[in-house]
Amino acid sequence: MQSMKMQELEALGKKCSVNEEDAENEGVENIVKKLTKPVEPALYICPTPIGNLADITLRVLDTLKQVDIIAAEDTRHTRKLLSHYDIHTPMISYHKHNSASSNEKVIGYLDKGNSVALVSDAGTPIISDPGQSLISECVSRGYRVVSLPGATAGITALVGSGLCAERFMFVGFVDRNKSKRKQALERLKSIDCTLIFYEAPHRLIKTLEAMLNVFGDRNVVLAREITKRYEEYVRGRLSEVLAGYEERAVKGEFVLLVEGNSSEENSGNIHMTGADLVNEDGISLMELSLSEHLCYFIKNGMRKKEASLKVAEARGLDKKQVYKLSVDLEC
């Protein structure tokens, strides 16, 4: 019985193997066509490039060619990708503003036995992109959902960041509202694994300031324009990276990777805001002078940038003015 199974496996391997001569004579695309099964009626989750058009799998390309319809976040954007690879499959629009009606439209295609591919503008659908409600609806109604592997900005950045990749948590975009953003970061402050965020250029500075204020001066990596011509990794402490971006034009889409909470951070209360703390004499920090308040944090190991943000928030002052005071402060 065991030898028979081995023979079957060997036969299957020979059937699916591609030698160098075949690849040279027939071309990779023809070989893939031979080995790829025709798509069956289902919803196919198809990752697309996050910047470099070459970063797409042969299987995704084959699927996009074979399905009956493509549900695209932005049909104009996806048409550029399809034109590049000479794919002429019809498309329908699927984005967060029309997901309710589009869900029923896609379900209608599946009801008729059609195959549908879901794509976002870049990367893997539903990862900070629309599509979650559609997939949930298909699963609940018993339709087959096929997830194809491919590009994801967060994972690509994590692998190249140098931060711990054994354990990580994907967060995505933080709330634009200042109060909600702070609350969200406070909930993440005790997490001890690498945190992955996405951020737009016009909100980068405010997000870094909020992270420094809540997390403390942790190591951070900013991955910008991943896989594109001007790809860049900026590494350092939050205060250092923030100071650097305050002095330069902020362009491109960012992945922010923040190291997890260490045992040292958990052991003390120095990373609290400062409004409720008292010094060694039992005096509330709010009763101290501005300089004394700053020195309290600086003497306890904080960098001046971080101390300034915390004091400014606690006292309702302008953070830039407080930082200017701290620069020449000798504690």
Q: What is the pLDDT of residues 192-231, one digit of tens each?
A: 899 999 999 999 999 999 999 899 889 999 999 999 999 9
Q: Is the pLDDT of residue 82 over 70?
A: yes
At 24 the pLDDT is 54
The 10 Å Cβ neighbour count of residue 181 is 19
pTM: 0.71
Q: Where are the alpha helices (DSSP H) in 112-237?
A: 132-140, 153-161, 178-188, 204-215
Pairing of strands 219-224, 254-258: antiparallel
Distance CA 257, CA 156 (A): 11
Cβ(276)–Cβ(293) below 8 Å: no
Task: Give 285 or 200, the one with higher predicted confidence.
Answer: 200
Q: What b/e string do you get for 275-298 counting C-beta neighbours within 10 Å, with b at 16 or more?
A: eebeeeeeeebeebebeebbbbbb
CATH 3.30.950.10, the chain: domain bounds? 153-266
113 within 8 A of 183, measured Cβ to Cβ:
no
Query: Alpha-carbon distance 328 to 148, whole Å?
Result: 56
Question: How high does pLDDT run on average in the chain?
Answer: 84
| pLDDT digit string, tens, across residues 96-118 | 888 778 899 999 999 999 999 99
Residue 12, pLDDT score: 43
Quote the CA–CA distance of 234 and 247 in Å, as a whole number.
14
Tokens 């025709």 found at = 38
pLDDT at 17: 46
Per-residue pLDDT, averaged over 129-136, amounts to: 91
Q: Which of 8-22, 205-219, 252-266, 299-313 has the lowest mean pLDDT?
A: 8-22
| pLDDT over 60 at 121, yes or no | yes
Amino acid sitting at position 51: G
Closest CA to 270 of 245, 241, 244, 300: 300
DSSP states of 216-256: -S-EEEEEESTTSTT-EEEEEEHHHHHHHHHTS---S-EEE
Please check whether residue 50 is in contact with residue 127, taking contact to mean a CB–CB distance below 8 angstroms. no
Instruction: Tell me the C-alpha distance between 161 and 154, whole Å.
Output: 10
Domain 153-266, what architecture?
Answer: 2-Layer Sandwich (3.30)
pLDDT at 92: 95
Per-residue confidence (pLDDT) for residue 83, from 0 to 100: 97
Most confident option among 255-259, 273-277, 325-329: 255-259
Domain with CATH 3.40.1010.10 in the chain: 36-147
20 pLDDT higher than 90: no
Q: What is the mean pLDDT of residues 303-324?
A: 84
Inform me whether the pLDDT recorded for 56 exceeds 70: yes
pLDDT of residue 5: 45
Provide CB contacts within 8 A for 60, sequence distance 6+.
Answer: 46, 47, 48, 148, 150
Q: What are phi and psi of 255, to 5 degrees?
A: -110, 125
Two structure tokens written together for 305: 């940038």
User: Residue 33's pLDDT is what?
Assistant: 59
Total number of residues shown for the chain: 331
Buried residues in 132-145 as b, exposed as e (16+ CB within 10 A) = eebbebbeeeebee
The answer, yes or no, to whether residue 136 has pLDDT greater than 50, is yes
* CATH number for the domain whose boundaries are 36-147: 3.40.1010.10
Structure tokens that stand for 295 in this block: 């020195």
